[in-house]
Structure 1
Amino acid sequence: MSDDLRDLPLRERKKLRTRRALAETALRLFTEDGYDATTLDDLCDAVEVSKRTFFRNYRSKEDVALAADSELWSAYLDRVAAQELTGPLIEALRTTLVTTLGDMDLDWDRRFLAARELSEAVPALQAHSLGYCQDTTRALVAAVSDRSGGDVAEVRARLTVEIFVAAWRTASLRWTARRGSGGRDALVALVQETFAEIPAALASCA
């Protein structure tokens, strides 16, 4: 039994196993048979659960296809909300991201890469991903504002979060373009490298 399940009550372990089985099977079916060709009935039959169970775990096909994204950002937002943000805000957000990446389960990078590749190929997933990114950005701005106790002006908080999100997207796109070569360590290295480029990027001349 994996460490992240061992300490949970039996009911919660079962729910998490079902959620993971749906996400894993969805990625496999969407990749092998095609996203549009795979129905929710196909997915539920493969996992042997009802549609009611599916909708208790995910809102839509798009949601389950991009589960690796939501796993990362749900964990990230929880961590931001729980800790004190000290020092330069962009640095606090970066270090929290690196820590959160390190805490994801061992199979997360493979699932994240598969989800990113699907998103690039399927317009509906691209649109869903952009919408989710906007929702997460708004949530992060709110979390930063709450944790800072009003010490960071709203416009500065929003600009910092937008720069943070852009840096993450740049790093993750570089990683997926390399087909995930180097695994999690390479992704973290690209995150660090990209964030280090922010000052120079902001000072660039046309």
Structure 2
Amino acid sequence: MSDDLRALPLRERKKLRTRRTLAETALRLFTEHGYDATTLDDLCDAVEVSKRTFFRNYRSKEDVALASDSDLWSTYLDHVATLKLDGPLLAVLRTALDTTLGAMDPDWDRRFLATRELSDGVPALQAHSLGYCHDTTGAIVRTVTERSGADVDGVRLRLTVEIFVAAWHTASLHWTAQGGRGGRDGLTKLVEETFAKIPDALTCSA
């Protein structure tokens, strides 16, 4: 039993196992048979759960396909909500991302790479991913605003978060294009290198 499950009550362990099994099976079926060709009935039959159980865990077929994204960012938001926000915000957000990447389960990077590769060929997943990115950006802004207090400059804060999200997106695209080279460590290194290039990018000439 993995450490993240061991500490949970039995009911929560069962729920998390079901959620993970749905995500793993969905990714396998979508990859093997095609996203459009695989129905929710196919997924539920493969996992031997009802659609009611599916919708207790995921909102849609797109949602379960992008589970590795939501796993990362829900963990990230939970972590940021506990931080004392001292120093430059961009550095705080990036350090929190490093911590979150390190805390993901050992198989997360494989699932994330497979999800990115699947999404590249499915317009519905691309659209859903853009919407999820928008929602996540807003959630980070709200979380940081709550932690920062009433005197925060909303425009500067939003711009900082947008730069943070753009840098992550750039690094993860590069990692995916490399076929996930280096695994988790490779992704973390690309994140570090991408963030280091932000000052130069802000003065980049066409």
- Same fold per superposition (TM over 0.5): yes
2:177 corresponding residue in structure 1 = 177
Q: Distance in 1 between matches of 2:41 and 2:198?
A: 46
2:50 corresponding residue in structure 1 = 50
Amino acid at match of 2:33: D
2:69 corresponding residue in structure 1 = 69
- Structure 2's unaligned 5+ residue stretches are none
Q: What is the CA deviation profile of residues 10-67 of structure 1, one whole-angstrom value per residue up to 9, with x for unaligned ones?
A: 1100000000000000000000000000000000000000000000000000000000
Q: Distance in 2 between matches of 1:114 and 1:8?
A: 28
Matched, 1:19 2:22: no
1:130 corresponding residue in structure 2 = 130
3-state SS of paired residue (1:121): coil
TM, length-normalised to structure 2 = 0.99
Map 1:1-206 → 2, pairs under 5 A: 1-206=1-206
1:163 offset after TM fit, Å? 0.3
Q: Distance in 2 between matches of 1:175 and 1:86?
A: 30
Q: Distance in 1 between matches of 2:62 and 2:194?
A: 28
Q: For the aligned residues, what is the CA RMSD?
A: 0.7
TM, length-normalised to structure 1 = 0.99
Q: Distance in 2 between matches of 1:66 and 1:73?
A: 11
Q: Distance in 2 between matches of 1:6 and 1:79?
A: 20
3-state SS of paired residue (1:157): helix
3-state SS of paired residue (1:84): coil
Q: Distance in 1 between matches of 2:163 and 2:139?
A: 15
Amino acid at match of 1:114: A
Poorly superposed stretches of 4+, deviation over 4 Å: none
Q: Distance in 2 between matches of 1:172 and 1:48?
A: 33
1:84 offset after TM fit, Å? 0.9
1:152 offset after TM fit, Å? 2.8
Q: What is the CA deviation profile of residues 157-203 of structure 1, one whole-angstrom value per residue up to 9, with x for unaligned ones?
A: 00000000000000000000011011000000000000000011102
3-state SS of paired residue (2:96): helix
Q: What is the aligned residue count?
A: 206
1:205 offset after TM fit, Å? 2.3
Deviates more, 1:147-156 or 1:160-169: 147-156
Q: Distance in 1 between matches of 2:85 and 2:92?
A: 6
3-state SS of paired residue (1:173): helix
3-state SS of paired residue (1:179): coil
